[in-house]
């Protein structure tokens, strides 16, 4: 299973749902708090063109929001 990277803010409900999903499914992930880390915020915006969170990166793919079906496919290495 691939590692996920998640750009979050502390008050984001869908960010929390994504992290719970990752923990329950033993998905290794690295979290970037874009409310506190301006460099990661800039990186997220450059990658996604979005200011909303969560932005989840799995491999070379970006998922905007907590789109569970897409995330599941990407974690399995399937194309979306």
Domains and CATH numbers, the chain: 4-75 (3.40.30.10)
Residue 52 · residue 65 · CB < 8 Å: yes
**pTM summary value:** 0.95
The predicted-structure confidence for 4-19, as pLDDT tens digits, reads as follows 999 999 999 999 999 9
Strands (E), the chain: 4-8, 29-33, 55-58, 61-64
User: Has residue 67 got a pLDDT over 90?
Assistant: yes
d(CA 22, CA 43): 22
């Amino acid at each position: 299973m691939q590692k996920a990277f998640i750009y979050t803010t502390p008050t984001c409900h869908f960010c929390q749902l994504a992290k719970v999903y990752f923990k329950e499914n033993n998905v290794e992930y690295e979290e970037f708090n874009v409310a506190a880390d301006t460099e990661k915020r800039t990186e997220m915006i450059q990658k996604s063109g979005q200011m909303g969170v969560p932005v989840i990166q799995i491999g070379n793919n970006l998922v905007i929001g907590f789109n569970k079906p897409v995330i599941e496919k990407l974690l399995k290495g399937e194309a979306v």
